[in-house]
Structure 1
Amino acid sequence: MNLLAVDDESINLMIIDESLSDKGFNIVKARDGEEALAILNRNEFLFFAIILDRLMPKMDGIELLRKIKHSEKWRDIPVIFQTAMSGVTDMTDGLDAGAFYYLTKPYSRALLVTIVQTAVEHYIKLLKAKEDLHKGMGALRHLVNGEFRIKSIKESHELAPILANACPDPERVLTGIMEILNNAIEHGNLGISYQEKTDLHNNDKLMEEIFHRLNLPEYKEKFVQVLFTKSHDKIEIIIKDQGKGFDWRKYLSLQAMTKNAFKTHGRGIFMARKLSFDDLTYEDEGSKAIITIMLTGNSSELLTDFQES
């Protein structure tokens, strides 16, 4: 798997290469944003992640990040932002530009490997979901009301493209819907805590634990209920799990995002609300997620025509 590493410091590129090459990654190196952009434009490599330094000559990391995220070809590639600037303003600049993963300098090689593996796994799941997104499900834009019930991560990945295709901008909402569905299963129904997920991630045991719990008597009959409703001006998706809930406010604040930005998880619902939805809130002590997607004038007219026909 190819990774693009962009840094003007040779020692940093050497550390990235030595840390990741023996994990099965091929590291393509660039010394500034302009060189990285030229490599991307040549289309020689399929990149599974980009490791990007913030402060560089010619074109800095923020400018390159914005160009990547505004490109239809590259915008879904996860970008791991390297920075020694970890203030709230600096973090907000990175978030606004499209960064999702962070590494603060100096960092350990173990953390680098964990963050990269997490980013690549996320991207592979997204690529699979996007394949399903384009498999003849265009008629789902006419869906007005629907109820679904799922139990496993596999089923959440099957349902997410269906729900996304019922929305006016499927690619925009797909990642966010996957995140909320996965949270409902992992943290809600299966009761995997934040700290447990951290430990499982670090030991590469998360999926093994998910499959184990899905077969335990206390979890195997639990399901996540998903309600889809389209009105004249918005789409509302309610995702209700059978867990005990969680303090969702901690994970939707900018303060929480900056706290969790340098970790492998803990910022998914923040990014989902910021990038995928017009609003995301929770009820029932966190066991019920309410997603809001506003409709354009054209989408509203389509719905009206459909309801009248």
Structure 2
Amino acid sequence: MINLLAVDDEMINLMIIDESLSDKGFTVVKAKDGEEAFQILSSGVMLFHAIILDRLMPKMDGIELLKKIKRSEKYRDIPVIFQTAMSSITDMTEGLDAGAFYYLTKPYSRALLVRIVQTAVEHFIKLQRAKEDLHKGMGALRHMVSGEFRIRSIRESHELAPLLANACPDPERVLTGIMEILNNAIEHGNLGISYQEKSELHDNDKLMEEIFRRLDTPEYKDKFVKVSFERNEERIEIRISDQGKGFDWKRFLSIEAMTKNAFKTHGRGIFMAKKLSFDDLTYIDEGRTAIIRIDLTNKTSNLLTDFQE
């Protein structure tokens, strides 16, 4: 059962959300404001796979509720989809800074709502499965000083990501970002799936089918992603290199691109990885090599303290 929490002070909006998503097999639990929503979350009665959140509400608004969710170790992984009429760059940036995973501006189509919810739920389920591997006797990896790996497929990236995360001080926080950068290197780098192609494949639910097809073709079957891990007293550095043509990575790390793609099903992954998972993320070699840096000089990550302010 896939459970969603919808939060809006307008009953008509809750009805539309419920009707749009119940027909697709989702169970929608409704709350009229942030306070009621947090009470429902805190009750622990059910696991929620995504939260659809209005911004302007009485008692506790959407931004305040989002910040409470992201400060909670128990709930912070749940993807939050903002749906609001506040569509300025400033408004969207504030929502994204608070930890929103998607940003829908009203009015929006039911079809778009369904696609984005499905994408958010898929992300949450993949993350939870990967986190299960974080606790399978890999604590000794915290002592790893260096290592080198080669992977080809999405399955292999999901095997490697928990291992790399376990070698870092805050495995659960870096796991999502590592998965995103590895998948990006395989899908867009080695397999050459363009942004537009991914949009069309995702909308037709054929993305994984196309990934598997390309992995078996002569053009792509011998390509691999090289991953290196290095630790010193000050930081951890992870380099992820693909054999693709490169890409305009600066465009995807800009706040302008983030707000532009905030209400699309993809295109904001590396931005969110840099913001939420790492202390720094940059690219070299025309976008073929990602360099992830995790600061070891502070016991508590700067990113974590940002959420706790």
TM-score using structure 2 length? 0.95
1:289/1:35 CA distance change after superposition, 3 Å: same
Q: What SS does the corresponding residue of 2:189 show, helix, strand or coil?
A: helix
Equivalent residue, structure 2, for 1:56 = 57
**How far apart in 2 are the matches of 1:196 and 1:41?**
40
Matched, 1:215 2:184: no
**How far apart in 1 are the matches of 2:196 and 2:299?**
45
Alpha-carbon distance, 1:207 to partner: 0.8
- The 8 Å contact of residues 173 and 276 in structure 2, kept in 1 or not, is answered as yes
Equivalent residue, structure 1, for 2:20 = 19
Q: Which amino acid aligns with 2:46?
A: F
- The 8 Å contact of residues 92 and 103 in structure 2, kept in 1 or not, is answered as no
Matched, 1:284 2:307: no
- Counterparts of 1:221-236 in structure 2, within 5 Å, are 221-236=222-237
Q: What SS does the corresponding residue of 1:220 show, helix, strand or coil?
A: coil
- The 8 Å contact of residues 4 and 48 in structure 2, kept in 1 or not, is answered as yes
**How far apart in 2 are the matches of 1:39 and 1:157?**
32
**How far apart in 2 are the matches of 1:257 and 1:150?**
28
Equivalent residue, structure 2, for 1:126 = 127
Query: Where has structure 1 moved over 6 Å in runs of 4 or more?
Result: none
- Counterparts of 1:37-186 in structure 2, within 5 Å, are 37-186=38-187
Matched, 1:198 2:199: yes
Q: What SS does the corresponding residue of 1:3 show, helix, strand or coil?
A: strand
What is the RMSD of the two structures over their aligned residues, measured on CA atoms? Answer: 1.0
Alpha-carbon distance, 1:186 to partner: 0.2
**How far apart in 1 are the matches of 2:140 and 2:279?**
23
Alpha-carbon distance, 1:93 to partner: 1.1
Q: What SS does the corresponding residue of 1:211 show, helix, strand or coil?
A: helix
Alpha-carbon distance, 1:298 to partner: 6.3
- The 8 Å contact of residues 92 and 259 in structure 2, kept in 1 or not, is answered as yes
**How far apart in 1 are the matches of 2:224 and 2:271?**
24
Q: What SS does the corresponding residue of 2:213 show, helix, strand or coil?
A: helix
Per-residue Cα deviation, 1:268-302 (whole angstroms, up to 9, x for no partner): 10111111111111111101101111103669xxx
**How far apart in 2 are the matches of 1:21 and 1:296?**
48
**How far apart in 2 are the matches of 1:14 and 1:201?**
27
- Counterparts of 1:258-277 in structure 2, within 5 Å, are 258-277=259-278
**Unmatched tracts of structure 2, length 5 or more:** 301-309
Per-residue Cα deviation, 1:212-233 (whole angstroms, up to 9, x for no partner): 1111111111100000000110
**How far apart in 1 are the matches of 2:99 and 2:299?**
28
Q: What SS does the corresponding residue of 2:282 show, helix, strand or coil?
A: strand
Alpha-carbon distance, 1:91 to partner: 1.3
How many correspondences in the alignment?
299
Q: Percent identity, aligned pairs only?
A: 80
Alpha-carbon distance, 1:7 to partner: 0.6
1:219/1:5 CA distance change after superposition, 3 Å: same
TM-score using structure 1 length? 0.95
